[in-house]
Amino acid sequence: MLNKIETKELNLYYGEKHALKDVSLNIAEKSITAFIGPSGCGKSTFLKVLNRMQDYVDGVKIDGQVLLDDEDIFGQGVDTTLLRKKVGMVFQQPNPFPMSIYDNVAYGPRIHGIKNKKQLDEIVEKSLKAAALYEEVSDRLHTSALGLSGGQQQRLCIARCLAVEPEVILLDEPTSALDPISTLKIEELLMELKDKYTIAIVTHNMQQASRIADYTAFFLVGEMVEYGKTDKIFTFPEDKRTEDYITGRFG
């Protein structure tokens, strides 16, 4: 399995707080990698570093390397807009723009210069289909996205992410605000998308990680304690701290 992303001795400080400590981790191409750990362990921070979302946070200092296809994302001349086109992100709360379903999906491609209506129509349809939402919304593409259910809104956010043809999709607890059926739909969707995309997901739901992830990394107080195939992590973790956390005996 090829590595799409590699981090090497990545450290991150929020002012005095050392939030990520020497994290060296590989994210395999075209597979799902889950990050688990208690609140405040650094897993979301780590995810956000991968497309430089931390650039917008004051007082953040980062050292170490993050390589995307062997190229350092903090290297000179890296265009963060292009980086975020390649490495898309979906958040915990569905956050559609207050515009139509169609315009939500077409937003990214338009920013990247696509104006042709026929081409945009095609992208919107393809992205909505890939996000398993098209069937449900095809007759109301020009109505407000805010009228969709939470689960549909989250799939719309995934469609919006897919519309700019990313290579990596980062998801930060994408189902924690959704009901069980919507959650399963998103999980099924991710299982399909991993054939084409590299997926990294932060989740508090251990069953979710064990259901969908190929690889799992366990974080604790800024440290990446253990990383391995999901089967191994959930059946025979090497580190006692991992076993204590996943079996609910932590803390």
Partner 1 sequence: MRKFFNDELEKLNVDLTKMAHLVEVSLENTIDAFKHQNKQLAKDIIANDRLINDMERAIESRSFNLMLRQQPIAGDLRAVTSALKIVTDLERIGDQASDIAEIILGFDGEQVYRTVEHIPSMAKKAKLMVHESIEAFISQDLQRAKIAKKMDDEIDQLFQEVKQEVMEIIKENHERVDFSIDFLMIAKYLERIGDHASNICEWLEFNQTGKVNNHRLM
Pairing assessment for the beta strands 87-90 and 168-172 based on DSSP bridges:
parallel
Q: Which is closer to partner 1, CB of 192 or CB of 236?
A: 236
Which of 61, 229, 236, 239 touches partner 1 by CB under 8 A? 236
Which of 93, 116, 149, 247 touches partner 1 by CB under 8 A? 247
Element (H, E) at 169: strand 168-172
Q: Taking the CB of residue 195, how many other CB atoms lie within 10 A of it?
A: 8
Shortest distance in whole angstroms from residue 242 CB to partner 1: 8
Tell me if 132 contacts partner 1 by CB under 8 A.
no
Whole-Å CA distances, 199 to 108, 140, 168, 172, 178: 19, 29, 6, 11, 19
Shortest distance in whole angstroms from residue 248 CB to partner 1: 5
Tell me if 116 contacts partner 1 by CB under 8 A.
no
Tell me if 250 contacts partner 1 by CB under 8 A.
yes
Q: Which is closer to partner 1, CB of 80 or CB of 207?
A: 207
Cα 71 off chain centre by: 20
d(CA 198, CA 33): 8
Question: Residues binding partner 1: what is the number (CB under 8 A)?
Answer: 14
What track of x and - describes contact with partner 1 for positions 164 through 203 (by CB under 8 A)?
Answer: ----------------------------------------
Which of 121, 206, 221, 225 touches partner 1 by CB under 8 A? 206
Shortest distance in whole angstroms from residue 225 CB to partner 1: 14
Side-by-side strand order, sheet with 87-90: 87-90, 168-172, 198-202, 32-36, 215-220, 223-229
Give the residue carrying structure tokens 């060296």.
Answer: 24
* Residue 183, token pair as written in the block: 């959650």
Q: Taking the CB of residue 9, how many other CB atoms lie within 10 A of it?
A: 12
Residues binding partner 1 (CB under 8 A) = 206-207, 210, 234-237, 243, 246-251
